[in-house]
Amino acid sequence: MGQGLVGAVLGTVGKILLGWTERKSKEVEAKMEIAKVRAQGRVRVEVAQAEAKVKLAEKELDHRIQWELLALESAKKSWKDEWWTLIIGGPLVALLFPQTQPYVIAWFRVLQTRCRTGISLFSA
């Protein structure tokens, strides 16, 4: 009778321990599954952020390219650069010829008297 009682108690304790270990095992598996899902979520977020950065960079590049094309198109019809080159470079080239030197010097003196700032570089 003693052995039967001890066997029954040990059997019951064994079943309890077996149930407890199974629950713990399932609990650990569930925690691992949750960690796995969280990690996948983080990866998805990082991938989405990287894709958004790439799209933003592509848009910025497209805008820059469009701006450059627009500037090139407008520069085709513009004579501003050439005009200012002639305005500034013409008198300097004229200084190379002795016949035009007095006229150019007189022009610089007029500029010096009428526009005092910025023309002092040309004055003698």
Within its chain, how far is the Cα of 87 from the centroid?
41
14 and 70 part of one domain: yes
34 and 70 part of one domain: yes
Question: What is the sign of the dihedral through the CA atoms of 85, 91, 96 and 97?
Answer: positive
Cβ atoms 103, 94 nearer than 8 A: yes
67 and 35 part of one domain: yes
74 and 90 part of one domain: no
Segment 36-86, tens digit of pLDDT: 888 888 888 899 999 999 999 999 999 999 999 988 888 777 777 788 888
Neighbours of 121 (CB within 10 A): 6
Identify the domain containing residue 49 by its residue range.
Answer: 1-78
> For position 117, what pLDDT does the model report?
61
Segment 90-123, tens digit of pLDDT: 888 998 999 999 998 888 888 778 776 655 555 5
Neighbours of 95 (CB within 10 A): 13
Cβ atoms 91, 107 nearer than 8 A: yes
Supply the pTM of this predicted model. Answer: 0.40
72 and 110 part of one domain: no
